Amino acid sequence: MQHLTFIKTILLLGSLALSSCAVRGHEDYPALVERDRTQRQSWSQLDGGEQTAVLGDLIQSEQVGPLIKEALDANPGLRQTLLTLSIRQAEYRQTSGKSLPAIDAEISTSRQQDTDTVYTGSVSVSWEVDLWGKVANSIQAAQKDMAQQEALYQAARDTLAAEVMKTWLSLIAAQKNITIEGKRLAVLENNEAFILQRYKSGLGNLEDLDSARGETSSSRASVAQYRETLAQNQRIIQKLLGRADNFRLNIPEEYAAVILPLADLPEQTLRRRPDLKAAYLAIEAASLRTRIAYKDLLPSINLQAALSDVASSPASALMNNPVWSLLGQLSAPLFQGGQLMTQTKIAELKTAQSYQAYRETLLEAVQDVEDAIGLERSLTERAIHIESALTRAQNNLHHYELSYRAGLVNILDLLNVQEQNFDLEIQLNNLIHEFLASRINLGLALGLGVQ
């Protein structure tokens, strides 16, 4: 009876100690997270937009869907993230096993001079009583780790799909630039041949011919640059797809339509983003490990039951008259050089660090959305002005060609006007590519993912 009273006293003191640990000014991180998330009430306004369920719905092309699927199945970086998730799942199962008793069996033999062989068998069952819920907290923390890795895996899938879509658009942009520069080169070569013919007829001068040849060489250099850009994007998409062969994608001649995703309320968007989910789960896991660090200061109870027997054969060990024993052990840390208290401080700092990482991710998420919305407006306005400038430049080029053939302007004036036209065409093409890629970035920023 006195032993029972002593144990109850120890448990009561431990409970008081745990309660004191729990009120030592810990931050309420879930409340802080909710406050940070709800501070943003609205985004910058966008005209239009369509509600979409997944990222792949943004591009209206039958070619993109299979490319995304192939990348999700074979990309080595994504496979590594998936393997990390499998490791976290195995660690969760491993941690869950700590809540169950451990059973060990042992059989040994011994023999002395002038005696028969003796076999000793034993079976023991040991179990740590989860008095303070420390094992339960460990299981919960492992579960949070697993859920965090699931969110990170989803974020990696979403990012990979967006990269495939944007690289596909980059291939089209590079191919169109090659086509435009090819038209420029053809015009310049015709000009060079025409000027050479005039020069041979005594109607031109050597400076005009040198200028034409210089522009032709510059255009050939640009063609070579655009071809290398195309080849680089081919290699990028080959890597994204996880292909080791000489894969070459059939590139469409024109861009496909890219839907403008609807920028819904910040509260809905931020709850949908997997990177924010992962950051929040990291806070929860760190908070649970802080609890565990404090509970390591409290007493622990271990129970052990054992059966043992000695026999003349292995088959009869533990089968005749086994001896049983039962052991209960209560242990509490008294002095470990401040290691346990330091461990609690480290756990608290790691939790605070996880919260700051969440805030950083939250600010990046808000900036991603605002940047994409601002870029959508800016690119739309720029495209209108470039299209207007290109129309005027084309009209001006027609007049200059007529004037040059009539001898009213020189070749340098004509070359400058031609350069302006082709430069505006390439500028408009690059602008359209950036505009369409920006819409994919906006969808990713709004938390649109892949199924």
pLDDT of residue 426: 94
pLDDT of residue 316: 63
pLDDT of residue 348: 92
Mean pLDDT of the chain: 84
Mean pLDDT value of segment 135-155:
94
The SS3 assignment for 52 reads: coil
pLDDT of residue 164: 96
Measured distance CA(80)–CA(87) in Å, rounded: 11
For the chain, list the domains and their CATH numbers.
28-93+136-294+341-445 (1.20.1600.10)
pLDDT band at 41 (very low <50, low <70, confident <90, very high): confident
Q: What is the pLDDT of residues 87-97, one digit of tens each?
A: 999 998 988 88
Burial 24-42 (b: 16+ CB within 10 A, else e): eeeeebeeebeeebeebee
pLDDT of residue 26: 64
Provide the percentage of residues in the chain whose pLDDT is more than 90: 43
Sheet with 323-331: list strands edge to edge: 102-110, 118-129, 300-311, 323-331
Burial 354-371 (b: 16+ CB within 10 A, else e): bbeebeebbeebbebbee
Let me know: does 262 contact 52? Beta carbons within 8 Å: yes
Is residue 153 over pLDDT 80?
A: yes
pLDDT of residue 24: 45
pLDDT band at 154 (very low <50, low <70, confident <90, very high): very high
Model confidence, pTM: 0.84
Q: What is the pLDDT of residues 51-84, one digit of tens each?
A: 787 888 899 888 999 999 999 999 999 999 999 9
